[in-house]
């Protein structure tokens, strides 16, 4: 039967087709990481990415082929060789459970007995009627519909935009509160960095009310604790805060 397929088609089908973008139902997949991995030298090949896509085994010291058992109107009934060492003659198709494949783009080129390579993802189970009339259930795989690139996402609705802005504001506030609490805890322990940051916060009104007298107090304690930056910050304060500090 293989003689009915041209030599060029036979050669191409024994190579994994290059379709890096696939659409499976309403979901898009980029398989480029797998193709990039396939091009790596043997010494650089770690475990293959995206192993939910069958067809290329976990390590490239093996190959993986599929034999077409039946070409059906809605897809292909395939048997897998499993992982085998180089050479088609080493493949054992009969010891592995068959699978059903949909959306294989070269289905019209195939005949029963054809050997192919591919990448496909499992999406469920499939029932078919065997030649003996029995109804059988096998794993259902989807090759996916090849595409140039995923379409751009739809524009956000006004509600989604408002929710995103509210979340950004809430996240920013939470991070600021967390940072302030961290600085306060350090300062309470006499940590030079914590004292310096609390002095800067009081000087700038960052998360706390602006209070130059408190800023001077924090900077003075930070200098005593060994912070060289606090000395510059202290000298940069308005001298009029000295009087306020003295009265307190």
DSSP for 35-56?
HHHHTS-GGG--SPS-TTEESS
Q: What is the pLDDT of residues 92-125, one digit of tens each?
A: 566 667 899 999 999 998 988 888 889 999 999 9
Centroid of chain to Cα 34: 13
pLDDT of residue 2 exceeding 60: no
Closest to 100 measured CA to CA, from 143, 53, 141: 141
pLDDT of residue 90 exceeding 70: no
pLDDT for res 89? 47
- The answer to whether 56 touches 34, Cβ cutoff 8 Å, is yes
Please provide the average confidence, as pLDDT, over all residues in the chain: 83
- Cβ neighbour number for residue 60 with a 10 Å cutoff: 15
pLDDT of residue 153 exceeding 70: yes
pLDDT for res 85? 43
Closest to 151 measured CA to CA, from 28, 32, 20: 28
User: Please, what's the b/e burial string for 119-151 (b: 16 or more CB within 10 A of its CB; e: otherwise)?
Assistant: bbbeeeebebeeeeeeeeeeebbbbbeeeeeee
- Would you say the pTM of this structure is higher than 0.85? no
Length of the chain equals: 248
pLDDT of residue 38 exceeding 80: yes
All residues at 6 or more sequence positions from 179 whose CB lies less than 8 Å from its CB, including other chains? 207
Residues of the chain with CATH 1.25.40.10: 158-241
Class of domain 158-241: mainly alpha
Give the confidence band of 59 by pLDDT, cuts at 50, 70, 90: low
pLDDT for res 12? 56
Identify which of 13-17, 219-223, 234-238 has the greatest average pLDDT.
219-223
Identify which of 34-48, 138-152, 166-180 has the greatest average pLDDT.
166-180
Q: What is the pLDDT of residues 201-226, one digit of tens each?
A: 999 999 999 999 999 999 999 999 99
pLDDT of residue 227 exceeding 60: yes
Answer with the residue of higher pLDDT: 60 or 88. Answer: 60
Angstrom distance (rounded) from CA 48 to CA 109: 29
């Amino acid at each position: 039967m293989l003689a009915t397929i041209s030599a060029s088609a036979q050669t191409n089908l024994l190579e994994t087709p290059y379709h890096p973008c696939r659409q499976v139902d309403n979901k898009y997949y980029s398989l480029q990481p797998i193709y990039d991995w396939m091009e790596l030298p043997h010494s650089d090949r770690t475990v293959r990415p995206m192993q939910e896509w069958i067809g290329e085994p976990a390590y490239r010291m093996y190959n993986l082929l599929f034999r077409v058992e039946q070409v059906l109107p809605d897809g292909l009934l395939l048997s897998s060789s499993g992982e085998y060492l180089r050479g088609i003659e080493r493949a054992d198709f009969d010891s592995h459970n068959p699978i059903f494949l949909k959306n294989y783009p070269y289905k019209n080129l195939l005949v029963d007995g054809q050997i192919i390579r591919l990448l496909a993802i499992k999406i469920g189970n499939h029932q078919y009627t065997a030649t003996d009339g029995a109804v059988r259930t096998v794993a259902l795989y989807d090759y996916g519909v090849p595409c140039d690139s995923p379409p751009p996402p739809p524009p956000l609705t006004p509600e989604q935009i408002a929710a995103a802005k509210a979340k950004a504001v809430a996240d920013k506030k939470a991070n600021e509160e967390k940072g302030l609490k961290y600085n306060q805890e350090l300062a309470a322990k006499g940590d030079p960095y914590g004292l310096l940051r609390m002095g800067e916060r009081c000087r700038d009104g960052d998360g706390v009310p602006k209070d130059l007298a408190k800023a001077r107090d924090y900077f003075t304690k930070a200098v005593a604790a060994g912070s060289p930056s606090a000395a510059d910050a202290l000298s940069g304060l308005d001298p009029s805060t000295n009087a306020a500090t003295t009265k307190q």
